[in-house]
Amino acid sequence: MFDLVRNGSGGPATAPLDGDTGWPGLRGKRVLVTGGTRGLGEQIVRLLCAEGVRVATCARTARDLETLAAATSPGLFTRPLDVTGPGRLEEFVTDTTNRFGGLDGVVACTGGSRGGAFEQATTEDWAATWAVNVAHAARLVRAAVPHLRAAGGGSVVVISSISGWKPGPPAQYSVAKSAQIQLAASLARELGPDGIRVNAVSPGSMLIPGRRWDRMRREEPEAFARFVAAELPGGAPVAPQEVARVVAFLLSDWSSGISGAHLPVDRAQNAPSPDGY
């Protein structure tokens, strides 16, 4: 059986490279996802639970976590916490590892933007946007590294955005999302010797029920059609479920050759065109 050759420091168990070519699945893996109660995070949690993963997730609203656990798996480990608060996130990583008997992956999904246009956004808006995107992701990985290393390696996925690789307002969000892409690539090099893979995923404008693009589609169909024609060569915004599948792939052994990558999942929304980048 031909298998991966490593540089002597071990690394995660991987799917064989020939012979059985079936999807290795994710059953039995242990994964922590931040921000799992809505939007993309919810779809990641739902997919991982359905795949037999032992999943932990956090958000600030306790009731949403209870609703999610009732709708997915009684084994879902949840904790209400603010990822920008001191210590709580690190504590949750340790408690998750203790509960599951180890850790195989983490997904930094919580994110967002505070404040408006450049001249209106305050220093606090910049700091809050940095904290919920970049600092939270860095702290999550730092807390997870000893546990991933103890498991022989693992997979880290940082959720960035198309705003992170094609500049656009609000600047505080664009800057934070591009920093997440650099963070993933930089950590991939630093943690690679421990068998820890780190990748960034950049969703395009996702069609999430009740959110911006879904509301526009229902309330302003002509404006939505113009947006799709101008921005979406694929003819439709990407669904969070589609992004969740890419995250699941990156957590799986089938992606063992991918680390330090930045994967847009945007149906070519950000692809350069003859009219410009």
Catalytic residues: 160-161, 173, 177
265 forms beta bridges with: 203
78 is a site residue for ligand NAP (CB under 6 A): no
Total number of residues that touch ligand NAP (CB under 6 A): 26
67 with 59: CB under 8 angstroms? no
- Which window, 5-13, 118-126, 204-212, 226-234, contacts ligand NAP (CB under 6 A)? 204-212
Alpha-helix residue ranges (DSSP H) falling in the chain: 39-50, 62-71, 88-100, 123-130, 136-150, 171-191, 212-219, 221-231, 240-251
Q: Please select the residue that binds ligand NAP; options are 26, 59, 69, 232, rule is CB under 6 A.
A: 59
Query: How far, rounded to the nearest angstrom, does the alpha carbon of residue 273 sit from its chain's CA centroid?
Result: 27
110 is a site residue for ligand NAP (CB under 6 A): yes
Q: How far is the CB of 7 from ligand NAP (least distance, A)?
A: 33
- Residue with Cβ nearer ligand NAP (15 or 33): 33
The Cα 100–Cα 50 span in angstroms is: 17
Q: Please select the residue that binds ligand NAP; options are 11, 12, 105, 111, rule is CB under 6 A.
A: 111
- 25 burial via Cβ count (<10 Å: 0-12, 13-18, 19+): middle
Q: How far is the CB of 21 from ligand NAP (least distance, A)?
A: 32
Dihedral class, residue 64 (left if φ above 0, else alpha if ψ from -120 to 50, else beta): alpha
By CB under 6 A, the residues from 6 to 45 that bind ligand NAP are 35-41
Q: Which two tokens stand for residue 108?
A: 């930094």
Closest C-alpha among 93, 92, 56, 98 to residue 77: 56
- Residue with Cβ nearer ligand NAP (15 or 198): 198
Q: How many Cβ atoms sit within 10 Å of the Cβ of residue 245?
A: 15
202 with 262: CB under 8 angstroms? yes
- Residue with Cβ nearer ligand NAP (26 or 159): 159
* Overall residue count recorded for the chain in this entry: 277
Q: Please select the residue that binds ligand NAP; options are 25, 82, 127, 135, rule is CB under 6 A.
A: 82
Q: Please select the residue that binds ligand NAP; options are 56, 109, 157, 188, rule is CB under 6 A.
A: 109
Closest C-alpha among 79, 80, 103 to residue 156: 103
159 is a site residue for ligand NAP (CB under 6 A): yes
Place of tokens 């608060």: 85
The Cα 83–Cα 74 span in angstroms is: 23
- Residue with Cβ nearer ligand NAP (53 or 206): 206
- Residue with Cβ nearer ligand NAP (155 or 269): 269
255 is a site residue for ligand NAP (CB under 6 A): no
115 is a site residue for ligand NAP (CB under 6 A): no
Per-residue contact track with ligand NAP, 120 to 139, x per CB under 6 A?
------------x-------
Interface residues toward ligand NAP, by CB under 6 A: 35-41, 58-61, 64, 82-84, 109-112, 132, 159, 161, 203, 205-206, 208
